[in-house]
Amino acid sequence: MALCLLCQQTLKKRVLFSDILLLKKEREGICLDCQQGFSPISDMHCPTCFKEGEKNVCSDCLYWEKQGATVSHESLYRYNEHMADYFSRYKFVGDYLLRTVFATELQTYFKDKRGHTLVPIPISDKRMAERGFNQVTGLLNSAGLSFQDFLQKEDTKKQSDKTRQERLELKQPFSIVENITVPENIILVDDIYTTGSTVQLAKQVLMKSGAKTVASFSLAR
């Protein structure tokens, strides 16, 4: 019997009439309860970074503007408690099966982004050795999306171990793999967007190396 990848409850095969009326459908792999725990970002969000509940450009984006940087970021889901649980199981427990949970959403989102090269935010060699996979390329692979993996990251403190101030401080951990021609139009892809510093650092490297436009996307914001 199929179990929910997240809570292990049995997935029901039978679709209830009330589910049809409410257009609810249990998706492959996770149960309806878990599905409903994820909260899509509503129409009321920061216009430049998709921060939920902001009508105007948010304080994070104003910070970047003051630094002379631009923000062009989109996200699908809020980083709520349920999403935090998901990422802790996927990344830190290392349950690689969980990469498939958002495959359909990612396919749909990137359908009209052709003409852009997707570039995943890399993880360091140390992190790769610990985890065994890059959570971002896992998500992209599960959705069957092609990407170019030419950014590399040197070891720094884990984002989650840093204070907010440390996260905002710019120390360049990214570089480009040798002998790569950087494509002109790029969408950087990350799992979670917090202050935007990761994306800004990666963007600096790409712009310096010949990219013309660099937008960004994360599953959660």
Shortest distance in whole angstroms from residue 175 CB to Zn ion:
27
The one segment of 49-57, 102-110, 167-175, 202-210 that binds Zn ion by CB under 5 A: 49-57
Number of residues counted as binding Zn ion (CB under 5 A): 11
Q: SS3 for 189?
A: strand
Q: Does 46 bind Zn ion (CB under 5 A)?
A: yes
Nearer to Zn ion, 134 or 216 (CB): 216
Q: SS3 for 119?
A: strand
Q: Does 7 bind Zn ion (CB under 5 A)?
A: yes
Q: Does 188 bind Zn ion (CB under 5 A)?
A: no
From the list 146, 160, 164, 170, the residue with the least C-alpha distance to 191 is 160
Is the distance from CB of 175 to CB of 217 less than 8 angstroms?
no
Shortest distance in whole angstroms from residue 61 CB to Zn ion:
3
The one segment of 31-39, 96-104, 172-180, 181-189 that binds Zn ion by CB under 5 A: 31-39
Shortest distance in whole angstroms from residue 80 CB to Zn ion:
15
CA atoms of 136 and 91, how far apart (whole Å) = 10
Using CA atoms, how far residue 173 sits from 46, 169, 202, in Å, is 27, 12, 8
Amino acid at 18: S
